[in-house]
A = this chain, B = another copy of it.
Amino acid sequence: MAIFQKSEKISTIDFVPISKIIVDSANLSEKLLQGDTRSVARAITIVENNSKAASDLMKAIFPKTGNALVIGITGAPGAGKSSLVDKLAFYYKNKGERIGIVCVDPSSPFSGGAILGDRIRMSTLGLDKNIFIRSMATRGNLGGLSRATVDAVAILDAAGFDKVIVETVGVGQDEVEIVKTADVSVVVLVPGMGDDIQAIKAGIMEIGDVFVINKADREGVLRTEKELEALLTLAMRPDFWNPPIIKTVATESKGIEDLSKAIESYYEFQKKGENLERRKAIAKWRLLELLQERLLADILNRNGTGAKLDRLAQEIAEKRNNPYSAVEEILK
């Protein structure tokens, strides 16, 4: 396990509440573009809260994005994504690169699941100044998680990280969209999952540029591989790429180099193709996400909307009103 060299200084991930942050956008973006980790952490907090400062910041750094290789990693809970991401990060680090990791965690606001996950992983990853890790948790009902995540990736990209890994727990709608914005999308399976039609239904098959069968020391790996191959044969990709299947045992660091090579090979492959259409589709998605968030925020920030929303929700709960009439009242 030579790759576990916990060395160097503690990487400072700050949890300063937004109200305490005095934002000097110009100064922040300047330090961020120089790769200052503290500024990166602060910038992500700002985009999470989507204030006016977020807008200024993103405008300033956007032209500097597009240099990192962005890797999206998804798969069902229990597939061992975190271990895989950690080992991949160490692998890149040992080649002298800087790696940013953004985890999307659909935990409810009650549990602090994201924080827990962070803490556990900090013990191996966070001590390395060349690896930056941050969890994005949901913040209630107002959405914006996808937008904030994609902004966080842009921040790490602009800050000069060589690789940015976006890890999504779960295979929900938003999570799939986020992974699609990556340069290379990796779908992680485990032996035994392939024996269920659910794996097809999950809609994650077609977003995979690279497939990983993790925990490949378990029984059933051959069957899963064969089933996956059969599925991939059925689905002809528009770009004619043939997604490789990599077997890994992340907990034992096995197969990590193979995975990195597969990622690299798709990255090279897609660079040759017409990339602009894909980037345009991503840009459109980002625009719509941001637009929707901004429109809702504008309405909710109007005087009296909060109280009105409360009253209408009460009326609906008591069946004296319905959501459709209520929304019309708000929009009036």
Contacts and interface: CB of A to CB of B under 8 A. Distances in A.
Interface in A290-332: 290-292, 294-296, 298-299, 309-310, 312-314, 316-319, 322-328, 330-331
Interface core residue of A107, A110, A174, A323 (most chain B CB under 10 Å): A323
A320 B295 CA distance: 24
A254 B206 CA distance: 34
B172 A106 contact: yes
Nearest to A63: B319
Given A62-B324, A113-B200, A117-B201, 5 more contacts: A82-B201, A107-B201, A108-B207, A111-B205, A117-B197
A120 interface: yes
Given A82-B198, A141-B177, A324-B58, A317 B283 contact: yes
A81 B313 contact: no
A101 to B, nearest CB: 14
A55 interface: yes
A173 interface: yes
Interface string A78-105: 1111100000000000000000000001
Interface of A: 54-55, 58-59, 62-63, 65-66, 76-82, 105-108, 110-111, 113-114, 116-117, 120, 138, 141-143, 145, 169-177, 192-193, 195-207, 235, 276, 279-288, 290-292, 294-296, 298-299, 309-310, 312-314, 316-319, 322-328, 330-331
A324 B78 contact: no
Nearest to A312: B287
B202 A77 contact: yes
Kindly report how many copies of this chain are found in the complex they form together. Answer: 2
A291 B299 contact: yes
A137 to B, nearest CB: 9
Say what secondary structure dominates the interface of chain A: helix
A198 B196 CA distance: 20
A316 B286 contact: yes
Contacts of A81: 198
A172 B107 CA distance: 9
Contacts of A281: 313
Contact of A295 (B204, B276, B292): B292
Contact of A172 (B173, B279, B326): B173
Contacts of A327: 287, 290-291, 294
